[in-house]
Amino acid sequence: MESVKRFSVGFSNHSTAEAVFADDFDRVSAENLALQQRLTAQDQRVDELEAEVARLNRVKFALKELAESHAGNLSVYRYHLSEALTMAEKVRDSSLGMQRKRLNDLIVYLYQNSGATLNPTAEAVSHE
């Protein structure tokens, strides 16, 4: 921005005023308008970016909640898998006569807890 030359103008009543050339005034006014338009555009861009940051934070929070809700399921899966493996070892280690009963117990356990594994209840979660 070039400097604007100012002039002091005296009037017959002994008062003075400052004046500038019209070309300087028009140039400075145009520069000011251009800068104001740029500032307005940048302010709008900041508002858009802040809105996007807020939206991404909401998405991040929702994903975190989703991950935490599924983390509880993992411990339920581990518990039921551990119980089923323990029962399967008992089937393997049992005498031939007891294997049928223990195998039946294992099948019943798996059947009864298959829904709990997919949809854990407070009782299932308490086995952690």
Report the domain count for the chain. Answer: 1
| Residue 114, SS3 per DSSP | helix
Enclosing domain of residue 104: 6-125
Say if 31 falls within a structural domain.
yes
Please state the pTM of the whole predicted model. Answer: 0.46
Q: What are the Cα distances from residue 9, in Å, to 15, 22, 63, 94?
A: 8, 15, 70, 115
Residue pointed to by tokens 């493996």: 85
Rounded to 10°, the helix 96-118/22-93 angle is 160
Would you mind telling me the total number of residues written for the chain in this entry? 128
Say if 1 falls within a structural domain.
no
- pLDDT tens for 28-62 read 999 999 999 999 999 999 999 999 999 998 988 88
| Residue 4, SS3 per DSSP | coil
